[in-house]
Amino acid sequence: MNELMMLVRRILSLLATLGIAIATPACGQPSPEQQRNAMVDDIARMARALSRNTGKDELDERVLRAMAKVPRHEFVPEAFRARAYENRPLPIGEGQTISQPFIVALMTDLAGVDADSVVLEIGTGSGYQAAILAELAARVHTIEIVEPLGRRAAETLERLGYDNVFVRIGDGYRGWPEAAPFDAIVVTAAPDEVPRPLLEQLAPRGRLVIPVGAPGAVQSLRLIEKDAEGRLTERDVLPVAFVPFTRETR
């Protein structure tokens, strides 16, 4: 054994002399890519466990690929980056949170976004949900009422190259009329009832995904679909807990 170890050392010394680098296994924290893959595995397991509630045994593979690609750690404060790929919500400042990855994936799946879709998001927050949607859609219009969050999200999305995301600071209740109609609308805060302007701005065959419920009460993640004639159907998908939907006070 000693002779073998001496031989190994001599080989390494010779290679070093020749300027040949030796790759050694990385120790400690897994890479962000490894953490994202583990997060996606956890999302898939959770989707199967909750399939009786959601009616979906599996989430769209395109959604899972987007979740595996977008660097969630870029959308959370520095203090929480070590926990960025845990399947849980995290604080992002201003009393707001970045949603649990499973919920982000589920809402994206329910929205039914494709490469031609024009999407509206209400509640930009950190910008993470907008980035996931931007991986799948043609354009994403997103509105944030808390100005510091909106500015920060816009900077992050621009830095990461999401040039198909357009950020507006303002009251999301009114939607974004000049960019309507939208093939999908995703709302990341819970109003007491569904805002009428959002229903009006939903395109025929469009989908609206929204948590509904009063603060402190049981909320329900709701899927609303508009058919080709403009008729609406809805179903409750899953009990959820979101921050309240905030409106301008003036």
Told to judge if 117 belongs to the known catalytic residues of this protein, a careful annotator would answer: no
Q: Which residue has the tokens 């999302």?
A: 43
Encoded amino acid at 19, one letter: G
Angle between helices 101-111 and 61-69 (to 10 degrees): 140
From the candidates 13, 51, 99, 126, which is the catalytic residue?
A: 99
CA–CA distance, 246 with 250 (Å, rounded to integer): 12
Helices 101-111 + 32-49 axis angle, to 10: 70
For 167-207, the three-class secondary structure string (H helix, E strand, C coil) is EEECCHHHCCHHHCCEEEEEECCECCCCCHHHHHHEEEEEE
3-state SS, 92-145, equals EECCEEECCHHHHHHHHHHHCCCCCCEEEEECCCCCHHHHHHHCCCCEEEEEEC
Handedness of CA 121, 123, 128, 129 (dihedral sign): negative
Q: What residues are annotated to the active site?
A: 99
